Chains A and B, each alone.
Chain A
Amino acid sequence: MSQAAEWAVEALDLVKVYKEGNILAVDRLNLKIGRGEIYALIGANGSGKTTCINILTGILAPTTGVVKVLGMEMPRDRKTISKYVGVAPQEYSVYHDLTVEQNVRFFGRLYGMSNNELERRMEELLQILRLDERRRSVVANLSGGMRRRVSIACALIHNPQLVFFDEATVGIDPVLRAFFWEYFRSLKKQGLTIILTSHVMDEAEKADRIGLIRAGKLIEEGTPKQLKHKHGADTIEEVFIKLSEGKIVDE
C-alpha cells in the first residue's frame, strides 16, 4: 500500500467496447479523484457510469487505458486493492435468503477480519444505518431502502479507504437520502474517498466534485459552484441541458 499516492483513483484514456453488440460504453475517459473527495459521476441511464465503476473496481477489463487505484495498478493488483476498497453495486447484491447479520459477517470474513473486530464494526454500522432492530431479519423481508442500507453496510464493513456507491441514493425517500448524504459527509471526515454515481442531477449539488458523463465521455468536470458559474446556470440540471445542446440523451 502506498500512502504516498496522491490520487485515490487515476484513469488514463479509458476505452471500453463491449464484445456483445460492439457497444462503445466508455470513450477516452480520464479521471483523477483525490483522497478524501466525494466525487459524483452524473449521467443519464446508459451513459456508462456502471461500466466505469466496474473497470475502476477491477471486475471488468477496459479495452484500452490505464487504471491506478490507491497507487496500485489495476487489474494486476486487483486482489490486493480489493482489501481497501468497498463496493455497493447498483443492484442490492446481497443474499436475500440470509439475515442482515449473516450477510454483513460473510463479507467481513472475506476481508479477513477477526471476530472481535468484525462484531465491533458491525455493531457500529448497524446502529448508524438504523438496521440494528432488523439484524436478524431475512433480507427478502426488508424494504428496498433497508436492503440498500444492508448493501452499504457490506461495502463498509472492512473499513475501506475508498468506496464506490453505484446509484445508492436513487429511488429512495427524501428523508433517507438526506440521511445518506449526512453519513457520506461523516465518512469523508474519517478520510474515506467516496465515488458515487447517479442519474439524478440535483444529487450532484452535494458532492465535492462532479463529472458529467454522456455516451461514455466525460463532458464536464468541476465543483458544483464552478460548473454553475461557468455555464451561467442555477442548477446542475441546467448545466447538463446546456451541455447537451437540447439533444435527448437518455438511453
Chain B
Amino acid sequence: MNNNKQQRRSSRFSFSRTYMVARRILQQIRRDRRTLGMMLMMPTIIMLIFGFSLSGEVKNIPILVDNQDTGYTAHPAPNVEISITAGSKIAAALQNDSRVKYNTGSFDKNRASVDNGTYFAVIKIPANFSETIFQRQRGQNKTAEIQIYIDATKPAIRASIQGALQSALQSIQGGSAFKFNEELAFGGAQYTGLDVGIPSVIGFVLTFLVLLISLITITRETISGTLQRLYATPLTALERLVGYAVALLLLSMMLAGVILGIGILVFGAAVKGNLAVLIFAAVLYALTHVLIAVFLSNFAKNELQAVQMAPLIALPSLALSGMLVPVNSLPEFVQPIARLVPLYYGNRVFEGIMLKGYGLLELAPEFLVIGVIAFLSLILALATVKDRINA
C-alpha cells in the first residue's frame, strides 16, 4: 500500500498542468474574434473619449496660504489715518472662494506638500505687501509681489487657482499692478489637457478591460460544463487559478501595450519618467486586476453577470480615483473610501511617472499598496475558490 506517497505526489503543485490551463485559455482567445477585437478597439475608443474631454473648472482644490503681511498704517496728514490690510483681504477672499480649499501654514515648510500632492499650490503674501500697495498708490514705481509655488501639471487645476487669486486681488481697492511670482513645481512641468488625461485613462482602461476579459474568460469555463469535468481530474484549484492568472496576465500585457502605444505614439502623451518603470507599473497594475477578477469570478454565475461586474467596479472607481475630480475635492466622508480604490493608486503611479518624472523610489508607497491589494486578492481567491460542486 503506497497510498500516502501517491497522495502526496498528486497534491504537489504541477507546473505542467498549470501551463496547460494557461495555454488552453490563450488558444481559446485566439479563436475568439470578438474578445480580441474588444481588446484592440475598446482602449482606442475610450482613450479618445476621455483624452479630449478632461478639462473644466474644479472645486475645493487644496491650497495653502502663508499670509505674512503685517498690514500698513500711514498718517499722510494730521488726523488722517490710512490703514491697509491687503493680505488679510486676499486671504478672506480665498477662504470664501469655492474653487479652493483654504489652509494656512508656512510657505517654506510646505513646498514639499505640493511635491507630494497634499496641496496643489502654496502661496506667500510677503510682510511688506500692504506697504508696497500704499507706496504704489502714492505714485512710487513699486510692484506688490505674491509668491506661488504651484503644480502646473494639471491645466484645469492651475487655471482654477489662478482664477481664485485674480478674484481675491479684485477685492483690494485700486487692484493695481500685482506680480505673481509663479514658480512651477515638478521642474516646471506644464502639460496640455491631453497629456494630463492620458495617465488616468491608462489606469481606467486597464482596470476596466482587464477585469472584463478576465471575468469573461474564467466564467466561460463554468458555463461550458468543463469546470465540473476539471474537478474530476488531478488538476488542483491552485494550479487552475495560477493557470488562469498566467494566461490573463499575458493578455493584459498585450492590452497594456496597446493602451500605452496609443497614448504615447498616437496622442504623443508625455512620459517624463522612465518608460521601463511605466511598463512595470502597467504590468503590476494589470496583474492586480487579474487577481481581483479571479477572486470575483467565484461570485459570477454566468457570463452576463461577469460582464456586469466589470463596469460595476470600474465606474465607481473612476469617480473615486481622483481622475475626474481630485480626491481632496470629494466630500469629506467619501475620501476614506477613495483611498481603498486601486485606481486611486494607479492614477498616482501613472501620473507620477508620466507627468512628474517619478521613479520607483518616489512611488514606493503606491507600488506597495498595489502589491498588497494583489496579494490580498490572491489570498481571497484561494480562500473562496471551489474545487468541487457546492450543492
Contacts and interface: CB of A to CB of B under 8 A. Distances in A.
Interface of A: 1-2, 18-20, 54, 57-61, 72, 75, 77-80, 82-83, 85, 87, 89, 91-98, 102, 106-107, 109-112, 138, 154
A2 B388 contact: no
A80 to B, nearest CB: 5
Interface string B214-242: 00000000001110111111111000000
A95 B3 contact: no
A93 B232 CA distance: 12
Contacts of A79: 7, 10-11, 234, 236
B273 to A, nearest CB: 40
Interface in B1-50: 1-3, 6-7, 10-11, 14, 16-17, 20, 24, 27-28, 31-32
B304 interface: no
Given A59-B388, A87-B232, A97-B28, A80 B3 contact: yes
B391 interface: yes
A97 B30 CA distance: 9
B266 interface: no
Nearest to A86: B232
A178 B11 CA distance: 40
Contact of B3 (A2, A54, A59, A75): A2
B31 A110 contact: no
Contact of B16 (A59, A87, A109): A109
B389 interface: yes
Contacts of A1: 2-3, 6
A159 to B, nearest CB: 14
Interface residues of B, number: 31
B62 to A, nearest CB: 52
Nearest to A1: B6
A97 B32 contact: yes
A98 B24 contact: yes
Given A20-B391, A60-B391, A112-B234, 8 more contacts: A18-B391, A89-B225, A95-B24, A98-B31, A102-B27, A109-B17, A110-B230, A154-B229
A137 to B, nearest CB: 12
Given A98-B27, A106-B24, A60 B6 contact: no
Contacts of B14: 112
Question: In the complex, which of the residues B1, B10, B226 has the most CB atoms of chain A within 10 Å of its own CB atom?
Answer: B226
Contacts of A75: 388
27 contacts: A1-B2, A2-B1, A20-B391, A60-B389, A61-B388, A72-B3, A77-B7, A78-B388, A79-B7, A82-B232, A82-B233, A82-B234, A83-B234, A87-B229, A87-B232, A89-B225, A94-B226, A95-B28, A98-B27, A106-B20, A110-B20, A110-B230, A110-B234, A111-B234, A112-B14, A112-B16, A112-B17
Contacts of B17: 109-110, 112
Given A97-B31, A98-B28, A102-B24, A80 B7 contact: yes
A89 B391 contact: no
Contacts of A92: 225
A54 B389 contact: yes
Contacts of B224: 93, 95-96
Nearest to A56: B232
A89 B229 contact: yes
Given A95-B226, A107-B233, A80 B6 contact: yes
A111 B226 contact: no
Please give me the 5 A-B residue pairs with the lowest Cβ-Cβ distance, nearest first: A59-B231, A93-B225, A91-B225, A109-B20, A59-B388
A251 B388 CA distance: 26
Interface in B172-211: none
Contacts of A102: 24, 27
Contacts of B7: 77, 79-80
Contacts of A138: 31
A84 to B, nearest CB: 10
Contacts of A98: 24, 27-28, 31
Contacts of A109: 16-17, 20
A171 B259 CA distance: 49
Contacts of B234: 79, 82-83, 110-112
Nearest to B25: A95
A61 B389 CA distance: 8
Contacts of B11: 79
A92 B27 CA distance: 19
B261 to A, nearest CB: 27
Given A79-B236, A106-B20, A138-B31, A93 B229 contact: yes
Contact of B10 (A18, A83, A94, A97): A83
Interface in B346-388: 388
B356 to A, nearest CB: 44
Question: In the complex, which of the residues A58, A79, A85 has the most CB atoms of chain B within 10 Å of its own CB atom?
Answer: A79
